Amino acid sequence: MTSIDVSEQAGVRYLHFGSDWVQGAMRIARPFALELEYTREMLLPLLLRPDDWPRRVLLIGLGAGSLTKFLWRHRPRARLTVVEIEPRVTACARQFFRLPDDPRIDIQHADGADFVIRSKQKFDLILVDGFDRNARAGRLDSLAFYLDCMARLAAEGLLCVNLLSRCKDFSQSVARLEAAFTGHAIAFPSSDSGNAIAIALASPVADAPAPSFYFSEVKQAAVALKTQSGLNLLPTLARLAQAGLMAGDTLQLRASAWRASSTQ
């Protein structure tokens, strides 16, 4: 059985699954802030929708509960369904990482891939961050899983996935997302930690053009989110622009934008 370990250094508490690999982190003085860069970037979808969105969220992989806690605090009208395969992780998140015990957070102890097959619910936002002790995502990085996620998204819902750019099949991971979402997907430039966030959009119409978002409006939303919650996504927007994921004044959720940026 994989051990679940907690360490602390310089005021930050870390979660590990039987190795030095960090599975989650919390700054003890700011338990509801997002300590790790990739967790902050996973919430970029908040900039693409109204400020009362999302109402229904599915989180696959609990870890230290950072994303769950942030959405619980800053999106008070959202209902959060969390799928975590290991009950001991939930117990650890409650004991050491201040995970709230609240009816708005519905924790299901199940395999994430099985859950999306069984579920009949529709979600505005699906966040996927599930790895084992060896940094393997398994079924959570398969074409079948991404197709099942698309089926669980509400009209114009968004899927956000944490990928590892240093894995040899990273480009295949992005290709699987593109195939499942008919090209309406992009991957961010890799962060220093090697995490690369990918976003995919469920299109209400088959073969519809990939949507575009005005950069000026997304930046304005980022400023408002920083004021409201302390989450600063302006550096992420700057990285997207530097990577060539902007076409003029628009951010486009389309595969060709990612392929063009990845070859620069």
Q: What is the mean pLDDT of the chain?
A: 89
What is the pLDDT, as a whole number, of residue 258?
A: 47
Q: What is the pTM of this model?
A: 0.93
CA distance 225 to 157: 20
Cβ 215 vs Cβ 237: under 8 Å:
yes
Amino acid occupying residue 246: M
Cβ 199 vs Cβ 160: under 8 Å:
yes
138's CB contacts (< 8 A; 6+ apart) are 113, 132
CA distance 59 to 65: 10
- Two tokens at 226? 């920083």
The 10s digit of each residue's pLDDT in 174-188 is: 999 999 998 888 888
27's CB contacts (< 8 A; 6+ apart) are 11, 12, 13, 33, 35
Q: Is 90 exceeded by the pLDDT of residue 88?
A: yes
- Two tokens at 152? 């669980």
Cβ 87 vs Cβ 109: under 8 Å:
yes
242: pLDDT confidence band, cut at 50, 70 and 90?
confident
The 10s digit of each residue's pLDDT in 40-71 is: 999 999 999 999 999 999 999 999 999 999 99
Q: Give the chain's domains with CATH numbers.
A: 5-209 (3.40.50.150)
What is the pLDDT, as a whole number, of residue 206?
A: 57
Cα-trace Rg, the chain: 17
Mean pLDDT of 17-25: 88
**Helix, strand, or coil here: 208?**
coil
Spell out a b/e string for 42-65, using b for 16 or more CB atoms within 10 Å of the CB, else e: bbbbbbbbeeebbebbbbbbbbbb
What is the pLDDT, as a whole number, of residue 169?
A: 81
What is the pLDDT, as a whole number, of residue 255?
A: 61
Q: Per mean pLDDT, which range of 53-62, 117-126, 216-225, 251-260 is the poorest?
A: 251-260
Q: Is 70 exceeded by the pLDDT of residue 261?
A: no
Cβ 185 vs Cβ 236: under 8 Å:
no
Mean pLDDT of 201-210: 68
Mean pLDDT of 79-93: 97
What is the pLDDT, as a whole number, of residue 260?
A: 43
121: pLDDT confidence band, cut at 50, 70 and 90?
very high
Q: Is 80 exceeded by the pLDDT of residue 137?
A: no
